[in-house]
Each structure stands twice: as structure tokens, then as C-alpha cells.
Amino acid sequence: MIDPVPLLEPQSALRISNAGDLVELVPYLVGFNPTESIVFIGLNGPRERIGITLRLDIAAVQAAPAALLTCAGHLVRSGADGVILVIYTDVPMDRFDGDPATLPHNDVIVAVSEILHDQELLVTDALLVTEDRWWSYLCSNPACCPPTGHPVATADVVSSVAAAATVAGMTIAADRGTLVEGLAPLPAAKREALAARTKALAEKASEGDRVADRAAAAALWVKAVEAQRRGESLIPDAEAAMLLEGLRDVRMRDACCAWAGGPNADGARAVARQLARRASPPWDVTPYALVAWFAWRSGEGALAQIAVERAIAGDPDCAFALLIQEILDRGIDPRTWSDPPLIKAAEGL
């Protein structure tokens, strides 16, 4: 599984002075604490600014080496000049004798470096991170890279990196599973009443005025986003049903997409996330796709990947979800994105 993380916004740029700072920053870039993973950090320009970041399961590398070519393609398209590799593992260090070649998963680093070299991407450093320490695969000088490794910063210490990342709005989930759980559908018993309302509304809507229905749903969307901003969490079932049915209208969906670049994007995503988790098939597809859209536009690639997978699982032919999946697969930088005319025209409905 590849989790793409787009380029950091300029205002979120963080100063990294050494490898230890980078090790501390990676979970913020990925959005969770990686386990048994390899992380690719693209470096852009002469000042080596952090660009696109990719996470790949080590098991995926071993099972399907072609995934490395996909990652290399993302890095090239993002304009990366160099790459830093970071391996996260719980493999015992009993074979490590101070020679970096004996570090766990050194074979993965070698294989990845060769592929990146073929793409004219220079690996400037490669690090191994365990639960509490980190090492470099490329340095054997005990003066700067002791055999015992360097300690990983603990969560109870508020470092400059952690403080800057927090100010920039970056957060860390415990692991990828936590992100998955946060998007899981609510138990069926908690979705039954809304499902019945939505189904009944859909049957009536087929005979109604689509323009009027769309306008009513759009007004409810604005109301729901404002409520989220005020801290009101639960959307009433009657309103949620109208929103779910309304989102099946392409123009209504496009109007919601337009909120991604505005000041209320967080509230809009919260509405989409709540609707996705409370909805039943097939009404959950568009809300999950919207969550993926909002997450990608804000640079949260792992969350976007999880949400779009749920949308496509619900409807493998959903064009909107497939578009988002292609965007993620290509590693497109959201800062370069310009909404198509149809989405711009739908804004404000």
C-alpha cells in the first residue's frame, strides 16, 4: 500500500537541521507512526526543501518490487532532485555489528537505491528507525553515527520540530489502523433509521423537482458546515438523509468539492466524514469520495487513500472516486491543482 503525502504548503515549511529532526518529523509528514514501512522523502531544489513523501509497506516491496517503480515515478513527477529513505521496523538488532551493511533491511535500501539511481534520483541519506533509536545506513563513522544509534525523541518532550508541526496543524495518529478505524462505518444498528429515511426520500425524489431538491440540499450543507464550526457534532437524521440523497446529484457534489480550498474546508470535511460513516450503501460512496477529496487537497495522503478505497469498494465504477485514485497514484501536488470549470460553476449552489 502506497500512502502519498503531497508537498508541504510554503507557510507550513519546517526547518530541519539534522537527521534526528527528520526522524521526528516523518510521522507528522505521514500522518501516523509508521511500522514495518519504508518512507521516501523527496528533496526539491538547491535548498533541499522537503517535497512529496511516500510510505510503502516493506512487505509490499518484497511481494511486488514494481511498487518501487511507482514510487520512483511519483518522485520524478514531483520534481524531486534527491531522496531520503527511512525504514521503520521492529526486527531485532542482534545481527548488527556496527557495520551499516548488517542493519535490518539493508537489502531493501540497496534495491531501492538502485532503482532511484536509474531514475537519476540521488539517495542523500538512508535511516533505520526502531521504537526508540535510529541509525544511518550510509555512515559508519562512530563519531557521528555510534553503533548504539541515536535516541528517538519521545512524545513527552516538546521539541522545536514538534512545536512547529503542531502550529502548522500537523497531527500524528497512533498508526494507520487508527486512521482506518476513524473512517469505518458506524455499527449497522446505528445506521438503520437514517437508511430508512434516505431510502424513502430517494423514492419521493425520483418524482420531484431536482432543482428545488438540489437547492434545499445545498442550503443544508451550508448549515451543517456552520454547525461543525460551532462545535455541534450530530446532523439530525432528517437533514442527513436530504444531504445524502442530494449528494447523488453531480452538481451538488461539485459544489461541495469547491469548499476544499476555502476557510471552511475543515468543517466541510467533517460533514462529509460524518455522512460517510452514518450512511448505508449506496449513499456512502459520494461522502467517502468527498472525504478523500478534502484530505488530498489538505495534504493528508494516507487519509485520502483510505477514504477513496472505501468509496471504490462501494462503487467500483464511481468516476469521481476513480479520478481521486488516479490523482493519488500519480502523486499530483494539490498546490498545482485548479478546479475544473464545472466545479467552479457549481460553487455557491
Integer Cα distance of 196 and 241 in angstroms: 9
pLDDT single digits (tens) 284-310: 999 999 999 999 998 888 899 999 999
DSSP code of 174?
A: S
Q: Match 555512515 to its residue by C-alpha cell.
A: 139
Helix (H) / strand (E) element for 86: namely: strand 82-88
160 versus 91: the higher-pLDDT residue is 91
Q: How many CB atoms lie within 10 A of CB 127?
A: 25
342 versus 38: the higher-pLDDT residue is 38
32 versus 86: the higher-pLDDT residue is 86
pLDDT single digits (tens) 244-278: 999 999 999 999 999 997 889 989 999 999 999 99
Residue 244 is predicted with a pLDDT of 96
Closest CA to 6 of 339, 338, 332: 332
Percent of the chain at pLDDT exceeding 90: 50
Residue 157 is predicted with a pLDDT of 66
Helix (H) / strand (E) element for 66: namely: helix 66-77
Mean of the pLDDT values across residues 163-187? 81
Taking a C-beta distance cutoff of 8 angstroms, is the pair 257, 293 a contact? yes
Q: Mutual orientation of helices 265-278 and 237-246 as an angle, nearest 10°?
A: 100
Band the pLDDT of 5: cuts 50, 70, 90. low
Average pLDDT, the chain: 86
pLDDT single digits (tens) 125-158: 999 999 889 999 999 888 888 888 999 887 666 6
- The answer to whether residue 10 scores a pLDDT higher than 70 is no
The C-alpha R_g of the chain, in whole angstroms, comes to 22
Give the predicted TM-score (pTM) of the model.
0.74
Mean of the pLDDT values across residues 106-123? 93
Could you tell me the three cell numbers for 247?
449528494
